Amino acid sequence: MRNITTSTITNNTSGSLGGGLSNLGTTNITASIITNNTSSSGGGIATANSNVLVRGSVVTNNHPNDCSGIVTNGGGNTPGDGTCGF
């Protein structure tokens, strides 16, 4: 399990999935900012499973979208383009 807490992930680029974060396991994101990242899909967060939980975080302005895959809303998040489910 990966825990990301009070972190800023910004201005990254990936030629594949997940400019900010590419998840293949289990990830909990708390009180963090994921913004201005770019990839082919899931500019902010790309996940191949449903094991990403986001709480009290900001996931916005990622390109072409904020999230790809199923992201669980733990509450208190700032909504972006709607692709993260919050």
pLDDT in tens, the chain (86 residues): 999 999 999 999 999 999 999 999 999 999 999 999 999 999 999 999 989 999 999 999 999 999 999 999 999 999 899 999 99
Order of all β-strands in the sheet with 2-5: 2-5, 27-30, 52-55, 72-73
Whether 84 is in a domain gets the answer no
Q: What is the dihedral of CA 27, 25, 47, 62, to 10 degrees?
A: 40
Whether 58 is in a domain gets the answer yes
Whether 22 is in a domain gets the answer yes
Whether 12 is in a domain gets the answer yes
Whether 39 is in a domain gets the answer yes
Question: 42: domain range?
Answer: 2-73
What integer pLDDT is reported at residue 71 of this predicted model?
96
d(CA 6, CA 42): 21
**Which residues, other chains included, contact 36 with Cβ-Cβ below 8 Å and sequence gap of 6+?**
10, 11, 61, 62
Count up the domains in the chain and report the number. Answer: 1
Whether 82 is in a domain gets the answer no
Whether the predicted model's global pTM rises above the 0.85 cut: yes
Whether 42 is in a domain gets the answer yes
